[in-house]
Chains A and B, each alone.
Chain A
Amino acid sequence: MIPEIGHFALILAAMLAIAQSGVPLWGAQRGDSRLMGVAAPLAMAGFVAIAISFAALMWAYAVNDTTVVNVVANSHSAKPMLFKLTGTWGNHEGSMILWVMVLAGCSAAVAGFGRDLPSALQARVLGVLGLISLGFLAFILMTSNPFDRVWPPPPDGQGLNPLLQDIGLAIHPPLLYLGYVGYAVTFAFAVAALIEGRVDAAWGRWVRPWSLAAWSFLTMGISIGSWWAYYELGWGGYWFWDPVENASLLPWLAGTALLHSAIVVEKREALKVWTVLLALLAFALSLLGTFLVRSGVLNSVHSFASDPARGIFILCLLGIYVAGAFALFAWRAPSMAPAGVFSPISREGGIVLNNLLLCSITAVVFVGTLYPLFLDLLTGQMISVGAPFFNSATAPLALPLVMGMAVGPMLAWKRAALWPVLQRLWWAACMAMLAFILTLTLAGWHVLSALGFACAFWLICGAATDIADRSGVGRTSLGNAWNRARNLPRAAWGAAIAHAGMGVTILGVAGMGLATEKLVAVPPGGSTQFAGYEWRLEGVRDFMGPNFTARKATITVLRDGQVVHVMEPSKRYFPIGGMTTTEAAIRTSPARDLYAVLGEERPNEAGVAEAVLRLHDNPLAPWIWIGAGIMSLGAGLSLTDRRIRIAAPARRRKETEAEATA
């Protein structure tokens, strides 16, 4: 019964989406406020319908309803309840329902919070969102319906890949989708602006918070994915430049460029056409990622098992949305009002440089990811484009970007003097140089890590300088400066915190560049020296989990004879599915991660049973993800800035409209 309700709710949502796409767009063309007014209630209703559908699916998982094909394929009664629930989106069909639900949620938010928007703009935005929703609902209903039933029901499900029974992997998709789908809103705004033929400061005032929110979630999503790949073996470490990882990075890079150029549109009404293009590009790249992961053209362990027929459907959707939007852009962009002027050395100029470098990096990652596919298609040659290529190709672009990140926020709008800003940053440069030299002397000839530390300190000190400069440190008393700092607009703090967060992440990455490892076989009771600690293997014993059996090793870590840690790496065997996973034991501290992995157990020449252990010392590793968290927080802080939430120009226009129609 409940799966049928879910299925019906999806069909209802599709009907509502048809209305939501057609009526408001037509109404906006005609200027008919009744037709335009239909958009908001339709968006809210659509969200309710899809939420009901999602709840129905989750219910089927919670009670392990084996009459539902999707539950049979992906779940099992022995799974812990948390993973039964999160397994709802751990497969292709369920994750698509999550995707459309987030989209409907964003539409409802635009409907609910957007009452200050000019009605034509809101109607068009909701219309475009309805159109996107319709396409994906059609995709689900026609090719990927999670509510298909099977009769008679099998006794139990076929279990889920044990790699997916993990909290890190459980929260990674929802956060990612909040990001990907958040960019659908900025896309809709861009399309609406192109249809209207106008981009103004009010538009910028709306696009900026949405791009900040989407960016914040996408940063968290990617970062949790990276952390999960780090502690789960077999997935290439925290970043492998795997094609699917790159598919998530592409919208992030475009989105970063977008959130910076949206600032220029809002404050200076410049870079309008470019910002519209970026908004189209960010969502286009996110759709491209959806296509690549689900169509089967990519060679990656991350991909969903999917068939090419679905790929063709998604490709058609991409054709409509992406090619359609770009065609609209080519037609309407040239007629947009020309931009405000600024000197190359200015805040706007800094943002243009930021965009240039970010988009070049985006182009490199885009080409690098797709090149093997196209080369194989055209010539049959198979090449690999892996981490060494991406690291070498993006580093020369990333370095000037990092250098500019500390300088840019301190430049004045329209026309700025560069030298005084550089002078204020002298101490940040000194700290960077110091970090570089110290790393080379203390840690050995690791030039890349030394460079990384220099960049990290440059960014963190640069962000501090930015805040200090805005507060008037050096120009007025410390007390006054402190007061000014407290009263700085939240967006200023948000930007500084986000830039510092990037520095923190780079700190972690540079630290990981100094990581060491040791591979050793020890008998129970035996010990080995590594990273300044003594590691003693107490023993390996059997262990039973809810749906697995395991061999668990207990390792005591001692420093100067004192026990400091106990670590328990294990190997798990899942009888349903017959898979084995290796669980690393990680001890996290601010300075480093100690990482231990249990290998095979076998007797040595003397016949004594030994366990092979792989031990890692990862300096500063946790800061990689803490830095990403700081970046998201900075973006979130900017979102709470009063100036963003009060869309004053929009309100004035609404009053004028009211006067005009009165």
Chain B
Amino acid sequence: MTATRLTRGPRLVRALVCAVLGMACGPQAGSGTVSPTTGDPVGAGPDPQGATEGEGMAELSGRLDALVGRERNLRPAAAADAGKCEELCELATSICSVQEKLCDLADDHPDDGAYQGLCREARNECREAQEGCVHCVEANSNQTLPR
């Protein structure tokens, strides 16, 4: 009896495991491929089918919703920053173009400390303005792109 019980026990367990796996991995759930539909909006496709997929889709859908919401919240700030970056970069271009004119004139007065000092100051301003432009664009693209 004991031996029988012992042999019947594992069989029963095996049968149960197969039944559970059969439900989870049946044709309705795993073997069929869910085709993307063009007409439905994102996240409004066919309802998840099967226990495992249902959890996955719900999780993915939730994550997608969260990302879409996050992107929507970031959009105005990113647009404002983009406008600010444009202004900063335009100013940098103007500063550097005036710096060139200034330093061209300063080259005609190589021994004049005042001319040379103003040229140095202009070069520093040009460099700082260019760095400001680059930082702004980099920060803006990092903020806009989802990670």
Judge: A and B partners, yes or no.
no
